[in-house]
Amino acid sequence: MALRTAGQAQSSDSDSDVDSLFDEPCTSSLPVAIRLAPPIPGLFVPPVLLSQELEDQIMEECMRLYFDGRDVNQIMLFGRTTTDLREDIDARMGKGLPSFLIQLLHQLSTMLQPWIPCDLHDHLFPSRDAPPRARQAILNLYRPGEGISPHVDLLNRFDDGIIGVSLSGSCVMSFERVAEATRDMKQCNDLEDNQKRWDLYLPERSVLVLSKDARYSWTHAIPGRTHDLVEGEDGNQEHHLIKRGTRLSITFRWLLQGADIVGGTEG
Ligand SMILES: O=C(O)CCC(=O)C(=O)O
Ligand SMILES: [Fe+2]
CATH number of the domain encompassing residue 67 = 2.60.120.1520
Residue 267 lies in a domain: no
| Structure confidence at residue 17 (pLDDT) | 46
Q: Rounded to the nearest whole angstrom, what is the distance from the C-alpha of residue 116 to the centroid of ligand 2?
A: 20
| Structure confidence at residue 263 (pLDDT) | 54
Domain residues for 47?
A: 43-178+195-255
| Structure confidence at residue 3 (pLDDT) | 45
Residue 36 lies in a domain: no
Q: Please tell me the distance from the alpha carbon of residue 170 to that of residue 222, in angstroms, as a whole number.
A: 11
| Structure confidence at residue 20 (pLDDT) | 46
| Structure confidence at residue 27 (pLDDT) | 79
Residue 32 lies in a domain: no
- What distances in angstroms separate CA 23 from CA 19, 34, 221, one per listed residue? 7, 21, 28
Looking at the structure of the chain, the number of domains it has is: 1
| Structure confidence at residue 87 (pLDDT) | 63
CA 233 to chain CA centroid, Å, is 21
> CA angle, corner 222, sides to 217 and 223, nearest 5?
120
Q: Rounded to the nearest whole angstrom, what is the distance from the C-alpha of residue 81 to the centroid of ligand 1?
A: 22
Q: Rounded to the nearest whole angstrom, what is the distance from the C-alpha of residue 150 to the centroid of ligand 2?
A: 8
Residues in the chain where the model's pLDDT stays below 50: 1-3, 5-23, 25, 189-191, 265-267
Task: Write the residue with the smallest CA distance to atom 3 of ligand 1.
Answer: 249
Q: Which residues pair with 219 in a beta bridge?
A: 176
Residue 236 lies in a domain: yes
Residue 121 lies in a domain: yes
Q: What is the pTM of this model?
A: 0.86
Q: Would the CB of 249 count as within 6 Å of ligand 1? A: yes
Residue 199 lies in a domain: yes
Residue 156 lies in a domain: yes
| Structure confidence at residue 186 (pLDDT) | 55
| Structure confidence at residue 8 (pLDDT) | 33
Residue 29 lies in a domain: no
